Structure formats: C-alpha cells, structure tokens
C-alpha cells in the first residue's frame, strides 16, 4: 500500500510540475503577445546578413542587411522608380555640356542632415572622393570609375561640377545605384550621419539594428516610428518569424514556399519582377565554346518554359539570350523568342565536330534557382547527346575559380548599361564568358557617350541583338525576387532593381 501511495505522490507531483511548466510557459507566451500589440509602430524586418555587417554604405560587402540599412539611412543623388526609370532625390537637376564631358549637378535646397546641419556640395564631394578612394576599393567605385576625384569641384553650396575624361551619357542614371549613397563630411561608420528617412539608434553586427524616424526628412516623415532589422540567415526561420508575428516583413522567401505562403491568411507575398538573370555562361575564348555553333546549340537545348517552371517554381519570366528584363525607358527589342530545338542543336554540334560532347557545369547554392536550373539543363542536354555534369560547389570554392570556369551559373541584377560594363565587355569583373566582340564593344562605347536617350535606346537594341546572335550566355530566364509581409502593412511596392525594403519610408501600418 505504502509503495503505491508513494508512487501516486510521485506521479501527482510530476503532473503538477508539468502543469506548472506549461502554465508559466503560457503566461510568458501571453506576455510576449501583449508586448507585440503595444509596439505596433515598430516595423520589424527579417533580413539575411552575416558577421561582416557594417553601417558603411561604401565599404560594404553588399549583403542584404547592409543594403537595407544604408538605403534607409542615406539618400542618393537619384533613386530607382519601381520600374528601371530613375528619379532625382538629393539632386534637383543634371546639366551636361555639348559632348557630355562636363556635368553640372544642382542639389535640392533645405535638406537637413541627421545631425541638424544643411546638406550641401561639400558633402557630395566628400562622398564621391570616399567612394573613389584607391586605398579602400568600394563597389560603388567601379561604377563611377569614369570620374576623376580631383576634378569634382564646388561651384556654390548647392552646385557641383564633374569634369570627365571621356563623355558619359547616362551620368544621371548611374547615381540611382545603391552603392552611391551620400554621407556627410567626416563620416564615421560607428555613428553614421546621413540625410535619409531614418536615423541610427543601435547596431550589433550579425544580429540586430534599430533606427528611428527622422522627423525633419525633406521628403516627408516616414510611416513608422522605428525600424528593427534582425539578421536571420535561415529562410525557413524567417518565414516562421513572420508566421508567428515576430517580424512584419521577411526578405528571403524561397520559390518552393511561395505558393503555400500566398494561400496563408495574414501574410502577403511581394512578387518583384526583378531584372535578375541566372545566366549559364560559356567561355567564348576556349574550346569548345569558342565555336559559336556550340554556343548556339546549347542555347537551343534549353527548354526555357520548363526551366522557369522547375527552377523558379514559375516565379519568373522566360529569357531570350539577352540581358535586361526591362530596359525602360527604352521599348522592347524585337527578336524572335528562341525555343528548344534538339534536332537543330544536334546538327550544329555535328557541324562543329562536337557530337556527344561532355562538359562540366559549375554552380553554387547562391540565390534560389542556381542549382536547380543547372540540373534541369543537364537533364535536357541528354536528348541532344550532350553530357552535362553538374558540379555543385560551396561558395568559397566557387569563388576561388570565379572567372575561370568554362561553363557555369551566375546571377546578375542591374540596369542594362551598367550590367554590360560589368559583365559583357573586356575588363568587367563579371565577364565570365570572356566575351570580346569588337562590334558590341564599339556600340557600348557609343551608347555610353550619348546623352540623347532616344539614340541610346536605339544602340541598346542593336547590342541586345548581337547578344542574342552570338553572345556567350544562355539567358534562359529572369527570376522574380519574393518577399513576404504581414497584411497589417501598407505601402509596399514591387521593384525591378530596388526593393520595398530599400524604401521603408513608404511603409506604414494599416
């Protein structure tokens, strides 16, 4: 009897203990729920970052957390509209001379900095010199390499004159790039002062940062009082945080999860028709891809609809072996859509003496779809008698040979001319195809020198036709960029180049 009693006590204690644990757990849960309701004016974001995080808009490695932070702390002279067209921000006007070698930039007056001062020409000159500092190479520096830092002059407090060595037509457009944000003089990344819609409160690299609304923002106050940016590297974890109400916006949504999220109550999907292509690049300077027939054969192997459906879960658009999903303000380039044609591909390979070709395709688990598109392509190649061995590498290993792979997958997202500068002409750091086409290069130089928009569009159209005809990339599709957010938010727009995350001043609670 005693034994049973004792056992009962034990069991009872255990049950009581369990109940106590669950009860206190429920209470903690309730209290967090209440806290949640109270700080409704804090916009909380889940973004992917790393321990390399910084608050420096120029000397950054370009991870998303950094970009989201500095695009909201600092303004550029210009910014992207939701399509690829460009709007002025800190700049009021850009005036070129006759041959586009001297550009006079007038700034908007009355812009206040977070420190309470006036933003002016000296700040712009300081920022440009900082971006071009040869001792600290920056991502922005490679975009405005045509500017001589010594030839940026102050005309008056709100006017700057840039004298260029060679003509540069799309001078205004380049300033919309996110890596060309303006800081204030004597900038200190530890206590960043800018002109942006939010000002700095706190920052812990790789973890969390907190900003508050800048009440004197020259384009009107932001819609929320505070912004909290949390680093969450795991995609699933960031979706869970959104589902559980811990964050209001999540940047990285994998394609596979999108359909499920779209159907979920309380959550909305932001489906950005981004200009991001995932090209399969072929090195045009070495065998077998130095033979244009082999390149065309590979382009004919691709069943692009299938690749968009399988690698991007349908969240994307078929490509036609030309960069630029949108080349606004220019109109579309009229070229017939290339489709899968296995017979034609076989014939071309036979003519090139490369029937039964076997190649290795290097890819990396970078952005969603990079591995999947390679696998789908390898499957499709079998029909043409081509063996494609997909080599999925770890990022560091992929980068170690970057630019050397004969056949690989990359991703690029930019407007057309900057993208060409970086990836389709000699000297571009992303020119993986090692493409050096005299006619194409000449057209690019001409387009860069022209400040006449209509003429520039005409040249761009010709350039894209050359890409389609003999380029080194299989541009099978453009991937949408998917974000998700709580339906308690409003003011989020889809962007081609930028992101709603870079324009948080427009976001507010319903």
Shortest distance, position 29 Cβ to other proteins, whole Å: 3
480 belongs to the binding site for other proteins (CB under 8 A): no
413 belongs to the binding site for other proteins (CB under 8 A): no
110 belongs to the binding site for other proteins (CB under 8 A): no
Shortest distance, position 221 Cβ to other proteins, whole Å: 26
230 belongs to the binding site for other proteins (CB under 8 A): yes
* Region of 18-26, 283-291, 353-361, 473-481 interacting with other proteins (CB under 8 A): 18-26
Shortest distance, position 73 Cβ to other proteins, whole Å: 18
Nearer to other proteins among residue 244 and residue 353 (C-beta): 244
Please, are residues 183 and 126 in contact by the beta-carbon 8 Å criterion? yes
User: Around Cβ 349, how many Cβ atoms within 10 Å?
Assistant: 25
23 belongs to the binding site for other proteins (CB under 8 A): no
205 belongs to the binding site for other proteins (CB under 8 A): yes
Question: Rounded to whole angstroms, how far apart are CA atoms 199 and 181?
Answer: 15
Instruction: Supply the DSSP symbol for 303.
Output: -
33 belongs to the binding site for other proteins (CB under 8 A): yes
236 belongs to the binding site for other proteins (CB under 8 A): yes
* Region of 84-92, 201-209, 469-477, 492-500 interacting with other proteins (CB under 8 A): 201-209
Report the phi/psi class of residue 80: left, alpha or beta, with left for phi > 0 and alpha for psi in -120 to 50. beta
Strand ranges in 254-357 using DSSP code E only, listed in sequence order: 267-277, 280-282, 316-318
Instruction: Supply the DSSP symbol for 449.
Output: H
20 belongs to the binding site for other proteins (CB under 8 A): no
CA dihedral 196, 201, 205, 207 (to 10 degrees): -110
231 belongs to the binding site for other proteins (CB under 8 A): yes
Task: Choose, by CB under 8 A, the member of 110, 206, 356, 426 that binds other proteins.
Answer: 206
402 belongs to the binding site for other proteins (CB under 8 A): yes
- Residue 308 CA, chain-centre distance (Å), reads 19
Burial class (CB in 10 A: 0-12, 13-18, 19+), 391: middle
32 belongs to the binding site for other proteins (CB under 8 A): yes
Helix (H) or strand (E) holding 114: none
202 belongs to the binding site for other proteins (CB under 8 A): yes
137 belongs to the binding site for other proteins (CB under 8 A): yes
Nearer to other proteins among residue 70 and residue 298 (C-beta): 70
Task: Choose, by CB under 8 A, the member of 106, 112, 243, 462 that binds other proteins.
Answer: 243
Number of helices followed by number of strands (H, E) in the chain: 14, 21
Shortest distance, position 30 Cβ to other proteins, whole Å: 8
**Degrees to nearest 5, angle at CA 42 with 263 and 485:** 15
Task: Choose, by CB under 8 A, the member of 7, 15, 20, 256 that binds other proteins.
Answer: 7
Helix ranges, 74-225 (H): 121-132, 171-174
Q: Longest C-alpha distance within the chain, in Å?
A: 106
Question: Rounded to whole angstroms, how far apart are CA atoms 155 and 437?
Answer: 41
Q: Does residue 77 have a cis bond before it (omega within 30 degrees)?
A: no
Nearer to other proteins among residue 46 and residue 158 (C-beta): 46
Helix (H) or strand (E) holding 370: helix 370-381
Shortest distance, position 191 Cβ to other proteins, whole Å: 16
3 belongs to the binding site for other proteins (CB under 8 A): yes
Applying CB under 8 A, what is the total number of residues that bind other proteins? Answer: 56
Shortest distance, position 206 Cβ to other proteins, whole Å: 7
Question: Rounded to whole angstroms, how far apart are CA atoms 44 and 33?
Answer: 15
**How many residues in total does the chain contain?**
510
266 belongs to the binding site for other proteins (CB under 8 A): no
246 belongs to the binding site for other proteins (CB under 8 A): yes
66 belongs to the binding site for other proteins (CB under 8 A): no
399 belongs to the binding site for other proteins (CB under 8 A): yes
Helix, strand, coil tally for the chain in percent (to 5): 35, 25, 45
Burial class (CB in 10 A: 0-12, 13-18, 19+), 277: buried
Nearer to other proteins among residue 372 and residue 410 (C-beta): 410
* Region of 45-53, 307-315, 413-421, 501-509 interacting with other proteins (CB under 8 A): 45-53
Q: Which of 74, 42, 43, 68 is nearest to 53 (CA)?
A: 68
10 belongs to the binding site for other proteins (CB under 8 A): yes
Task: Choose, by CB under 8 A, the member of 12, 19, 29, 165 that binds other proteins.
Answer: 29
Nearer to other proteins among residue 31 and residue 93 (C-beta): 31
8 belongs to the binding site for other proteins (CB under 8 A): no
Task: Choose, by CB under 8 A, the member of 37, 38, 51, 334 that binds other proteins.
Answer: 51
Q: Which of 481, 488, 495 is nearest to 258 (CA)?
A: 481
53 belongs to the binding site for other proteins (CB under 8 A): yes
Task: Choose, by CB under 8 A, the member of 1, 34, 396, 438 that binds other proteins.
Answer: 396
Q: Which of 71, 100, 143 is nearest to 504 (CA)?
A: 71
Burial class (CB in 10 A: 0-12, 13-18, 19+), 11: exposed
Report CA-CA distances (Å) from 157 to 76, 88, 94, 96, 106: 17, 18, 16, 19, 9
- Applying CB under 8 A, the residues found at the interface with other proteins are 2-3, 6-7, 10-11, 13-14, 21, 25-26, 28-29, 31-33, 46, 50-53, 61-62, 137, 139, 142, 202, 204-208, 230-234, 236-238, 240-241, 243-247, 394-397, 399-400, 402, 429-430
């Amino acid at each position: 009897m005693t034994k049973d009693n004792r056992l009962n006590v034990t069991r009872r204690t255990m049950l009581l203990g369990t109940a106590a644990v669950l009860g206190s757990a429920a209470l903690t849960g309730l209290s967090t729920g209440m806290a949640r309701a109270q700080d409704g004016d804090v916009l909380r974001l889940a973004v992917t970052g790393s321990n390399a995080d910084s608050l420096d808009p120029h000397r950054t490695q370009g991870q998303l957390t950094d970009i989201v932070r500095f695009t909201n702390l600092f303004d550029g002279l210009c910014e992207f509209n939701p399509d690829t067209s460009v709007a002025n921000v800190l700049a009021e006007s850009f005036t070129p001379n006759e041959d586009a070698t001297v550009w006079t930039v007038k700034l908007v007056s009355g812009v206040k900095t977070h420190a309470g001062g006036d933003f002016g020409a000296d700040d712009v000159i300081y920022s440009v010199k900082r971006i071009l500092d040869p001792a600290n190479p920056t991502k922005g520096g490679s975009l405005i390499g045509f500017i001589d830092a010594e030839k940026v002059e102050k005309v008056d407090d709100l006017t700057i004159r840039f004298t260029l060595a060679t003509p540069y037509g799309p001078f205004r457009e380049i300033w919309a790039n996110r890596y060309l944000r303006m800081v204030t003089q004597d900038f200190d990344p530890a206590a960043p002062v800018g002109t942006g819609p939010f000002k700095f409160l706190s920052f812990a690299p790789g973890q969390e940062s907190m900003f508050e609304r800048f009440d004197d923002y020259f384009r009107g106050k932001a819609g929320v009082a505070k912004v909290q940016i949390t680093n969450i590297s795991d995609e699933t974890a960031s979706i869970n945080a959104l589902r559980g109400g811990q964050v209001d916006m999540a940047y990285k949504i994998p394609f596979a999860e999108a359909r499920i999220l779209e159907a979920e109550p309380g959550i909305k999907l932001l489906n950005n028709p981004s200009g991001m292509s995932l090209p399969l690049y072929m090195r045009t300077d070495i065998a077998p891809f130095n033979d244009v027939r082999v390149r065309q054969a590979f382009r004919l192997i691709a069943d692009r609809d299938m690749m968009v459906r399988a690698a991007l879960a349908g969240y994307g658009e078929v490509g036609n072996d030309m960069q630029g999903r949108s080349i606004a303000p220019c109109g579309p380039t009229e070229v017939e859509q290339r489709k899968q044609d296995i017979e034609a591909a076989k014939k071309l390979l036979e003519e090139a003496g490369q029937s039964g070709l076997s190649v290795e395709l290097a890819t990396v688990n970078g952005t969603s779809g990079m591995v999947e598109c390679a696998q789908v392509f390898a499957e499709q190649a079998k029909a043409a008698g081509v063996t494609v061995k997909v080599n999925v590498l770890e990022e560091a290993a992929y980068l170690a040979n970057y630019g050397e792979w004969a056949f690989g997958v990359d991703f690029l997202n930019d407007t057309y001319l900057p993208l060409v500068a970086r990836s389709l002409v000699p000297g571009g750091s992303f020119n993986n195809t090692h493409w050096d086409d005299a006619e194409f290069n000449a057209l690019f130089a001409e387009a860069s020198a022209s400040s006449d928009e209509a003429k520039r569009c005409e040249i761009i159209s010709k350039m894209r036709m050359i890409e389609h005809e003999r380029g080194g990339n299989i541009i099978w599709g453009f991937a949408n960029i998917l974000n998700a957010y709580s339906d308690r938010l409003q003011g989020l727009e889809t962007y081609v180049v930028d992101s709603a995350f870079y324009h948080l001043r427009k976001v507010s609670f319903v």
